[in-house]
């Protein structure tokens, strides 16, 4: 009933306003999920423990004390997931592969045949349904055994990741032609190593996130080269990674605030973007200079930001087939009045970020609805990295417990309009992915924040899925390839 009402309302709105904007035929649409957030079956057969299993089982850091032990039960219900994808009419499905489900010990000496069989079945079902599989190798669930060895702060992790990548390309690359190495390295390193926002919650800011990033960037480049040298000639696919960024908007048009906002962009998107997408490669100059200077002032014998060798810079530069972007929201930035001498990434960055109280909110404190920021960010990428092909791998809105999700519909309407504006500006966006196919385990927020187009009943042992109003809305966009002007 609710859906019929919403659809009628939408039709009415279109009829009244009458103005539809068309997406180019070259733009494809998908939805995304991630292994730990949906699969459950945390200890099925020989699956190994990962860092989210460990964090959820041994700490009280999750808001509702929940975990991903069952999550959406997709390990047992992926056929239902594929049905939902068919109903939506998506061109592709972005999912991630759980490292410890494939390699129970983290190392490639022992493969789980059951783990491989699960992804085989998912991929085969997608292909039968004519949905292109888009697989992420690392969406945050490192095998615990590798974390015990230091995780991403251990330089050997790049080799172990390469071994994992090789197993995955070998097992699925005959059918999967679209790959991402990492999801949001900024979050992995800053929140997992610098802070406590994600597993392994190391909380060593100013040191650990820079080590993590250094090794992870190398791991990405090694996996890219492996694919490029060995698998692309045989399998003919594409590979990249996806970086998250807010748009950082100067709070005022004062030169100091403009400089601060640009610095925030460089520390956020540039930290991982510059080494790979710029022509010079390496970390952004402003990061190298500031962190080196502050490290010396703090009494360290060298910069806390590790250095790449000339060979490494050349090896890492250009390791992409497209620019992957995850984007949700915007921050206002100004220059602080005092300079902090504290040890942390945010003190190295040295800016103040805040939100306009007039921006509409969501269920997540960090997520405000600012569609024009999306347009500005896409243009910043176009200008800074020579107008690359951009694929938006995540964009979405959270609410609490609501199937008639008009606020999510409004978010998608506004952000997709901003995307069309960016296309008119000359940005080269070729695909757009909604986060997420269905409600799922939202990391430290547990099941309290919902991002899905499908509602999942987490109290029902069957984890029943029901389309929300936004699922019908997204489906109608995919069918008509048009959207109402906002």
> Nearer to ligand GAL by C-beta: 257 or 439?
439
CB of 424 to ligand GAL, least distance (A): 27
Q: Which of 400, 326, 407 is nearest to 63 (CA)?
A: 400
> Nearer to ligand GAL by C-beta: 367 or 420?
367
Phi-psi region of 427 (alpha: psi -120 to 50; beta: other; left: phi over 0): beta
The one segment of 57-65, 296-304, 418-426, 435-443 that binds ligand GAL by CB under 6 A: 435-443
Which residues 159-218 are close enough to bind ligand GAL by CB under 6 A? 183-184, 187
CB of 442 to ligand GAL, least distance (A): 6
Given a contact cutoff of 8 angstroms between Cβ atoms, the answer to whether 28 and 92 are in contact is yes
* Residue 136: φ, ψ to 5°: -100, 130
Residue of 23, 52, 435, 473 interacting with ligand GAL (CB under 6 A): 435
What is the bridge-based pairing of β-strands 178-183 and 428-435? unpaired
> Nearer to ligand GAL by C-beta: 385 or 397?
397
Binding mask 24-63 for ligand GAL (x = CB under 6 A): ----------x--x--------------------------
Q: In the beta sheet, which residues pair with residue 133?
A: 93
CB of 32 to ligand GAL, least distance (A): 8
> Nearer to ligand GAL by C-beta: 23 or 412?
412
Given a contact cutoff of 8 angstroms between Cβ atoms, the answer to whether 428 and 388 are in contact is yes
CB of 246 to ligand GAL, least distance (A): 11
What single string gives the DSSP state of each residue in 453-471? Answer: SEEE-TTSTT--EEE-HHH
CB of 449 to ligand GAL, least distance (A): 7
Residue of 23, 169, 186, 443 interacting with ligand GAL (CB under 6 A): 443
CB of 394 to ligand GAL, least distance (A): 6
Residue of 451, 454, 458, 472 interacting with ligand GAL (CB under 6 A): 451
> Nearer to ligand GAL by C-beta: 34 or 135?
34
User: CA–CA separation, 224 vs 230, rounded Å?
Assistant: 10
Given a contact cutoff of 8 angstroms between Cβ atoms, the answer to whether 431 and 27 are in contact is yes
Given a contact cutoff of 8 angstroms between Cβ atoms, the answer to whether 215 and 188 are in contact is no
Residue of 6, 244, 331, 414 interacting with ligand GAL (CB under 6 A): 244
In whole angstroms, how large is the CA radius of gyration of the chain? 22
Query: Strands, DSSP E only, in 68-192?
Result: 92-96, 132-138, 178-183
> Nearer to ligand GAL by C-beta: 173 or 373?
373
Which residues 373-402 are close enough to bind ligand GAL by CB under 6 A? 394
Helix (H) or strand (E) holding 431: strand 428-435
> Sign of torsion, CA 102 105 109 114?
negative
CB of 254 to ligand GAL, least distance (A): 31
Residue of 442, 446, 450, 455 interacting with ligand GAL (CB under 6 A): 442
Which residues 297-326 are close enough to bind ligand GAL by CB under 6 A? 326
> Nearer to ligand GAL by C-beta: 186 or 277?
186
With CB under 6 A as the rule, give the number of residues binding ligand GAL. 12
Binding mask 102-131 for ligand GAL (x = CB under 6 A): ------------------------------
> Nearer to ligand GAL by C-beta: 50 or 244?
244
Active site residues: 184, 394
The alpha helices in 18-111, defined as continuous H runs, are 35-38, 51-58, 74-88, 99-102
* 335 Cβ contact partners less than 8 Å away, ≥ 6 residues apart: 254, 256, 257, 259, 260, 351, 352
> Sign of torsion, CA 333 335 338 340?
positive
User: CA–CA separation, 435 vs 32, rounded Å?
Assistant: 5
Q: In the beta sheet, which residues pair with residue 352?
A: 334
CB of 445 to ligand GAL, least distance (A): 8
User: CA–CA separation, 20 vs 477, rounded Å?
Assistant: 11
User: CA–CA separation, 190 vs 393, rounded Å?
Assistant: 20
CB of 249 to ligand GAL, least distance (A): 20
Q: Which of 328, 325, 327, 330 is nearest to 430 (CA)?
A: 325
* 293 Cβ contact partners less than 8 Å away, ≥ 6 residues apart: none
Which pair of structure tokens corresponds to residue 344?
Answer: 């942390």
Given a contact cutoff of 8 angstroms between Cβ atoms, the answer to whether 31 and 89 are in contact is no
CA distances 155 to 48, 159, 378, 384, Å, are: 22, 8, 33, 29
> Nearer to ligand GAL by C-beta: 125 or 394?
394
361 sits near ligand GAL (criterion: CB under 6 A): no
Q: Which residues bind ligand GAL (CB under 6 A)?
A: 34, 37, 183-184, 187, 244, 326, 394, 435, 442-443, 451
């Amino acid at each position: 009933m609710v859906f019929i009402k919403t659809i009628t309302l939408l039709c009415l709105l279109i009829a009244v306003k009458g103005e539809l904007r068309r997406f180019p035929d070259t733009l494809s649409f998908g939805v995304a999920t991630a292994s730990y957030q949906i699969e459950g079956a945390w200890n099925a057969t020989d699956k190994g423990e990962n860092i989210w299993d460990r964090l959820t089982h041994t700490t009280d850091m999750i808001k509702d004390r929940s975990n991903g032990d069952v999550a959406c039960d997709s390990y047992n219900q992926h056929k239902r997931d594929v049905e939902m994808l068919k109903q939506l009419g998506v061109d592709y499905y972005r999912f991630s592969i759980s490292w410890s489900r494939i390699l129970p010990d983290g190392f490639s000496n022992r493969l789980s045949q059951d783990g491989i069989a699960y992804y085989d079945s998912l991929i085969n079902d997608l292909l039968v349904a004519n949905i292109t599989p888009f697989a992420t190798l690392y969406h945050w669930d490192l095998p615990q055994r590798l974390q015990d060895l230091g995780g991403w702060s251990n330089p050997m992790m790049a080799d172990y990741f390469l071994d994992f990548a090789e197993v995955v390309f070998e097992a699925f690359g005959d059918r999967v032609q679209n790959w991402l190495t990492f999801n949001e390295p900024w979050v992995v390193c800053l929140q997992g190593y610098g802070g406590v926002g994600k597993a392994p919650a190391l909380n060593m800011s100013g040191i650990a996130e820079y080590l993590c990033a250094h090794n992870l960037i190398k791991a990405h480049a090694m996996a890219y080269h492996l694919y490029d040298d060995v698998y692309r000639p045989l399998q003919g696919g594409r590979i990249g990674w996806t970086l998250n960024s807010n748009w950082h908007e100067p709070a005022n048009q004062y030169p100091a605030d403009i400089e601060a906002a640009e610095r925030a962009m460089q520390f956020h998107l540039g930290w991982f973007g510059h080494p790979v997408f710029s022509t010079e490669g390496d970390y952004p100059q402003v990061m190298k200079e500031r962190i080196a200077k502050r490290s010396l002032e703090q009494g360290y014998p060298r910069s806390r930001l590790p250095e790449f060798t000339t060979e490494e810079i050349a090896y890492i530069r250009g390791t992409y087939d497209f620019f992957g972007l995850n984007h949700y929201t915007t921050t206002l930035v100004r220059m602080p009045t005092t300079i902090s001498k504290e040890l942390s990434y945010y003190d190295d960055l040295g800016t103040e970020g805040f939100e306009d109280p007039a921006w509409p909110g969501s269920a997540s404190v960090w997520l405000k609805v600012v569609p024009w920021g999306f347009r500005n960010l896409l243009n910043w990428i176009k200008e800074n990295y020579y107008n690359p092909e951009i694929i938006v791998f995540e964009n979405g809105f959270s609410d609490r417990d609501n199937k008639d999700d008009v606020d999510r519909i409004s978010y998608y309407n506004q952000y997709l309009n901003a995307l069309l504006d960016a296309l008119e500006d000359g940005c080269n966006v070729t695909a757009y992915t909604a986060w997420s196919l269905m409600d799922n385990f939202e990391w430290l927020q547990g099941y309290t924040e919902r991002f899905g187009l499908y509602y999942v009943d987490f109290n029902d042992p069957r984890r029943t899925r029901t389309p929300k109003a936004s699922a019908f809305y997204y489906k109608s966009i995919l069918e008509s390839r048009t959207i109402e002007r906002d």
